[in-house]
Amino acid sequence: MPSSTYPGTVEIATFKLTVVDVVEQTADAHSISFVGPEAAAAELAYTPGQFLTFAVPSEQTGVAARCYSLSSSPYDGGPLTVTVKRTASGYASNWMCDHLRVGDQIRVLAPSGIFTPRSLDADLLLIAGGSGITPIMSITRAALAAGAGRVVVLYANRDEESVIFARELGDLAAAHPDRLLVVHWLESVHGLPTQDQLQAFAAQFTTYDAFVCGPAPFMKAAVAALKDLGLPRERRHQEKFVSLGGNPFGDLQDAARLPSQA
């Protein structure tokens, strides 16, 4: 497998993944599934809530390194899947949605991240906004498949059409009525959720381990609500997205290979 040396760090291995499925979740969000080489199965193993770093080709920089959370579960034998939502000024998110199709290949780094439960048997309060549902979906699927605790998902969106995984969440709730509660918050109906409203909801689940992911203002309000409820730091988890400095893929020439380039 190729590797690159990131300035000031040790050599980093990269892996070539092949697209095996693309699903349009909403008008601006796609779930893209991949398989990697069998020899790299151990290196590509992941825990729910982690992310992959992709080498997105760029005419300006050669490679744009971008991180996207896995929405799949490591416990169902399915492929690695990330869910990417377009952003108006996001080059990489638009490239991923516009260009990747079944049979295409792209380079990634090994799964990474610490936004993952210490135990899938714990009761979990999962608070998501918009595309923040991606790692939350991975945790939900994994907890229901391999854990024993209760799972509560509060999912905020602009309107009904923007709800990613609407059908999947409904199916999971129907299949696990005693373990999974899904509550949708629509801005078009209820307005933007306030800290007080988030606190009132979370007050029912103060013994749970809480995970928060979404737009920065949403996460700030949710985390503040959890703090005011007295949840200890070890039971409050917030996904933080940090832009990468430089290019961890080095001088990679084949960041992505599409059928038309073969």
- CB burial of 236-249 (b: ≥16 within 10 Å; e: otherwise) equals bbbbeeeeeeebbb
Query: How many Cα atoms within 13 Å fall on the side-chain side of residue 232?
Result: 2
What's the angle, vertex CA 81, arms to CA 80 and CA 87, rounded to 5?
Answer: 145
Would you kindly state where each structural domain of the chain is located, as residue ranges? 3-112+243-261, 124-238
Please give the average pLDDT of every successive group of 10 residues along the chain, which has 262 residues.
47 90 97 97 97 90 88 96 93 94 97 96 98 98 98 98 97 98 97 98 98 96 98 94 68 58 40
Q: Does domain 3-112+243-261 have CATH number 2.40.30.10?
A: yes
Edge-to-edge strands, sheet with 236-238:
180-186, 151-157, 124-129, 209-213, 236-238
pLDDT at 261: 43
Residue 13: how many CB atoms within 10 A of its CB? Answer: 12
- Rounded Cα–Cα distance for residues 193 and 84 (Å): 24
pLDDT at 253: 56
- Rounded Cα–Cα distance for residues 27 and 17 (Å): 25
pLDDT at 40: 97
- Rounded Cα–Cα distance for residues 93 and 218 (Å): 21
Amino acid (1-letter code) at residue 115: F
pLDDT at 7: 47
The CATH T-level fold of domain 124-238 is Rossmann fold (3.40.50)
Residues 6+ apart with CB under 8 A from 114: none
Contact 146, 179 (CB under 8 A): no
